[in-house]
Structure 1
Amino acid sequence: MKILHITESFGGGVTSAINSYILNSQQHEHYLLASVRKGDTTGEEGNGLFKHMELVPRRLTSLVRVKPYIDRVQPDVIHLHSTYAGALIRALPFIPAQKIVYTPHGFAFLRGDHPMMLKAYRTIESLLARRTAVIAGCGLDEQRIAGELIEPGSTLGLVNVCDELPNVPAIRSLTSKPVIGMVGRISRQKGYDYFRNVADACRNVAHFKWIGGGDIQAMAELERAGIEVTGWRPRNEVVAHMKGLDLYFHSAAWDGFPISVLEAAKLGLPIALRRIGPFIAENLTTADDMDNACRQITAFVKGDPETRYALNQNSQNIQNLHSGEYLQASLESLYSRFNQRLDGKRLVMSGS
C-alpha cells in the first residue's frame, strides 16, 4: 500500500512520531508532504524511511501543492498529522474522505484558550469528522476523545514509541543541586508558565532546566526565573542533556502522548507528570496542581521512598505499554482496514 503522510508541523515530537510509524510499518510505501515549523527542527527531519518526501513553505499558498502531489503519488491512504493539517486537508473537497486517517497529536479544543474558541475548535472537529475514515489517536486518551466525535468503531489508538536513542555521554548542569528538566517547545501547550512557577517554588531544593527553545520572550521569562534554557539543540545533544537530569518533569497543559516522556522512560529516568488526559488514561502517578507538583518534587529530592517508587514506576509502566510490538500491531490493524476496502473495490470492478 502507498501511504501519504501530510503535516504542517514537521519538527519536534511530530517528526519522531511519524518516523516511528514508518519504522514500524515498513511493509508499506510511505511518502511525506510537509512544512517544517520554524525553530522546531531536531535534526531528524531527514531520517524517515520515506520512498519520497516533499517539504513546502509553511504558508497557506502551499495548499496548491497538495493536489499535484496526491495525483503523482496516487496514495491508498492519506494520513494527516496535527490539528491544522487535519483541518486544512479535510476541508479540501478533492480529498477522498474514505482514504483519510487523522492523528491529531493533541486536539486543539484541549488548549487553554477562551471557552468560545474551544467550543469553536470542537465544532470544527465534529464537522470534519464526517470527512474522516479513521481517527487514529496517539494514545488511549486521544482515542477516547475521538470516540466522542466519530463512531467509536472508526477510532484506533496508536501508542507512541521511542526508538533507539543515541549513545552519548551525559551533559550535566553546573550545580550541586538535583536537576529537574523538561523537553519541548517553550509554549503555552507545554506549560512553560506552570514549569516556571513550580521551579520558583522549589528553587531551594533543585535546579530547573528547560531543554528546548521557542518564543524569545518566553525564553527570557524562564531565564529571569533562574531556569537554565538550552535553546533548540540537535537530537544527540537533547538526549545528552536528558541523561544529565535527576528527574524528568513534564509540565504540558495538553498533549497527545509526548515523545519526550517516552525518551525519559527509555533512559530510566524517574518521571513527574502534570495531571492531563493521556497520563490519567494510563493510570500514571500525576500531580493535580502546582502545589502538589512542588510537594512531589521536594519529597523526591529529599529521598521519600514512596514518592521515589511512584515516579520510578511511572517510567516502568510507560515502557511496558509503549512497545514497538504493540505499535506494529496497531498500525497493521489501521492500514489493513484500507486493504479490505481496496480488495472489495477490486472485486466489484472484476464483477462488472
Structure 2
Amino acid sequence: MESNMSGRLSANSTVMHITDCYHGGVGRAINDMVANAPHLNHVFAFHGDDTPPSGLFSREIKVTGNVLSRMRRFSRLLRDSDASIAHVHSSWAGGFIRAGRNPRLPLIYQPHCYKFVDPALPRAQAVAIRLIERLLLSNTSATVVLSPAERMAAEEIGAKPTFYVPNVPSVPRGTVDAEAAPRRRVIMVGRVSHQKDPEFFEQVVRQCESEINDVEAVWVGDGDPEMVSFLRHAGVRVTGWMGTTELADLLSEGGVYIHSARYEGLPLSVLDAVQRGLPVALRRIPSLRGVLEERQFDTPKQLAAEAVRLLNDVSAYRLSIQRTLPWLEEHSNAQQQQSLRRLYDSFAAFQED
C-alpha cells in the first residue's frame, strides 16, 4: 500500500458492505448511507428479507443457508473482493468477519445497536458479549456509532477511533393535518422482537383504551410469530413490513408514535415519524440518553397518558410536532454526507495506486 497524499479516497474506490440482517431499520439505514456516498462504488453482500433498491449498489450478492454457511460465504466474498474498504453492519456479520479479518483491508464495524446494552440480559451474558466485542477491536479499523449513548458504549469497551454518522429519515418530508382532530391511533414501527418489547407496547395500548374507547393500535413490521400472535390477540393490527411509500402514507394519516424498545442504536422509526409530522412519545432508556429527552417517559402508564393528552388536544398535538422538528436538522442528508466523507476519507492512506 502506498499513501494517498490527497487525503481523500479516490472516486473509483469500492466499499464492500456486509450484513446478515438486511431488513427493517438496518436495511433502510444501509440504503441511506450508500445513497449519501455516491462518489464511491458500493458492493453489497447480504442476507435478509429486503430487496436492494435498483441501481443503488454496483453489485449485489444475496447469501442464503444456515448461519455458519452464510458467515463462511461472507468471509470468502470479502477475501476475494477488490474492495478498498470493508464496512460490516450489525453484530453477527461484524463478529464473524472481524474474527477472520483480511489484514490488507481496512474494516469498519457498525453495530447498529450493541447487544450488551440490553438491560434484560443476565449479567454474565452481558459481560461475555462485552468481552467478545472488546477482543474483536484488534481487528477493527474504526467503529461507527449512531448516538451519544452508543459512542459512550463503544468507548467504554475501548473502541477507537469512533465516527459518529447520524441516521437520516428513510421517508420523504410530510405533514399531518394538525388542524383537524388527531386520528386516534398509536403506532410502533420495528421488528416484532424481544428488543422492541411488544409487551410494553401492549401495556401502553391497554392504558390508552382505559382512557379513550376508540383508539386504534398499529404495529408496522413482522418478526417472532408468538409475539405477533400476542399483539394481534391484544387487538393490535400488525401490518407486516411496508415499503417506503406505504409507510410514509400510513404515518401521515396521523396518530401518536410510541417507541417501546428496551435498547437501541438510534431508531430510524422515530426519525421517520417526526419526518412525516407525527408527535412522538418514547420509552426512557439509557440508549436514548441525549435524544429528545423531553419526549421520554418511564412507564406504560406515563406514555399512554401523554398519547391520550395529545389525541384529545389539537393545540398540544400541534405544539409537540413543532417542538420536535428542529431535531431533524441534526439528521439531514447533508450531515450524513459530511460524516461519511470523513469516515471513508480517513482511510485514504491505505489507497492502492
Specify the TM-score bucket, using the shorter chain as the normaliser: 0.7 to 0.9
Q: Say if 2:17 and 2:44, in contact at 8 Å, map to a contact too.
A: yes
State the structure with bigger RCO (CA 8 A, min sep 6), 1 or 2. Answer: 2
Cα drift, residue 12 of structure 1: 1.1
2:142 to 134, 149, 162: 134
Q: Which residue of 2 aligns with 1:184?
A: 190
Is residue 60 of structure 2 the alignment partner of residue 53 of structure 1? yes
AA of the residue aligned to 1:104? P
The 1:98/1:281 distance shift into structure 2, 3 A limit, reads farther
1:297 to 295, 307, 311: 307
Is residue 20 of structure 2 the alignment partner of residue 11 of structure 1? no
Partners of 1:200 and 1:164 lie apart in 2 by 29
Q: Which residue of 1 aligns with 2:234?
A: 225
The 1:67/1:218 distance shift into structure 2, 3 A limit, reads closer
Q: Which residue of 1 aligns with 2:8?
A: none
Gap runs ≥5 in structure 1: 171-175, 347-352
**Structure 2 residue matching 1:18: 3-state secondary structure:** helix
Q: Which residue of 2 aligns with 1:197?
A: 203
1:74 to 82, 98, 107: 82
Is residue 340 of structure 2 the alignment partner of residue 328 of structure 1? no
Q: Say if 2:143 and 2:159, in contact at 8 Å, map to a contact too.
A: no
Q: Which residue of 1 aligns with 2:293?
A: 284
TM-score (norm 2): 0.86
AA of the residue aligned to 1:200? R
Q: Which residue of 1 aligns with 2:113?
A: 106
Q: Say if 1:142 and 1:157, in contact at 8 Å, map to a contact too.
A: no
AA of the residue aligned to 2:225? I
Q: Which residue of 2 aligns with 1:173?
A: none
Task: Report matched runs for 1:299-314 at 5 Å.
Answer: 299-303=309-313, 309-310=319-320, 312-314=322-324
2:91 to 83, 102, 109: 83
AA of the residue aligned to 1:181? I
Is residue 136 of structure 2 the alignment partner of residue 123 of structure 1? no
Partners of 1:215 and 1:226 lie apart in 2 by 17
Runs of 4 or more, structure 1, over 6 Å off, are none
Among all aligned residue pairs of Structure 1 and Structure 2, give the percentage whose two residues are the same amino acid. Answer: 28
Cα drift, residue 199 of structure 1: 0.6
Is residue 287 of structure 2 the alignment partner of residue 275 of structure 1? no
**Structure 2 residue matching 1:146: 3-state secondary structure:** helix
CA RMSD in angstroms, aligned pairs only: 2.6
Q: Say if 2:170 and 2:268, in contact at 8 Å, map to a contact too.
A: no
Q: Say if 1:254 and 1:276, in contact at 8 Å, map to a contact too.
A: yes
Partners of 1:7 and 1:70 lie apart in 2 by 12
Gap runs ≥5 in structure 2: 1-12
**Structure 2 residue matching 1:202: 3-state secondary structure:** helix
AA of the residue aligned to 2:304? C
Q: Which residue of 1 aligns with 2:244?
A: 235
2:257 to 234, 248, 260: 248
AA of the residue aligned to 2:197? G
Q: Which residue of 2 aligns with 1:317?
A: 326
Cα drift, residue 102 of structure 1: 0.6
Aligned length: 331
Cα drift, residue 151 of structure 1: 4.8
Q: Say if 1:104 and 1:138, in contact at 8 Å, map to a contact too.
A: no
Cα drift, residue 339 of structure 1: 0.5
Question: Could you give the per-residue CA deviations for residues 276-322 of structure 1, whole angstroms, max 9, x where no partner exists?
Answer: 245322343211222221222222223285676346523x1331110
Cα drift, residue 51 of structure 1: 1.1
Q: Which residue of 1 aligns with 2:349?
A: 340
AA of the residue aligned to 1:246? G
Cα drift, residue 147 of structure 1: 1.4
Question: Could you give the per-residue CA deviations for residues 310-350 of structure 1, whole angstroms, max 9, x where no partner exists?
Answer: 46523x1331110111101100110011113337xx6xxxx
AA of the residue aligned to 2:199? D
Partners of 1:53 and 1:177 lie apart in 2 by 41
Q: Which residue of 2 aligns with 1:65?
A: 73
Q: Say if 1:181 and 1:245, in contact at 8 Å, map to a contact too.
A: no
Cα drift, residue 109 of structure 1: 0.6
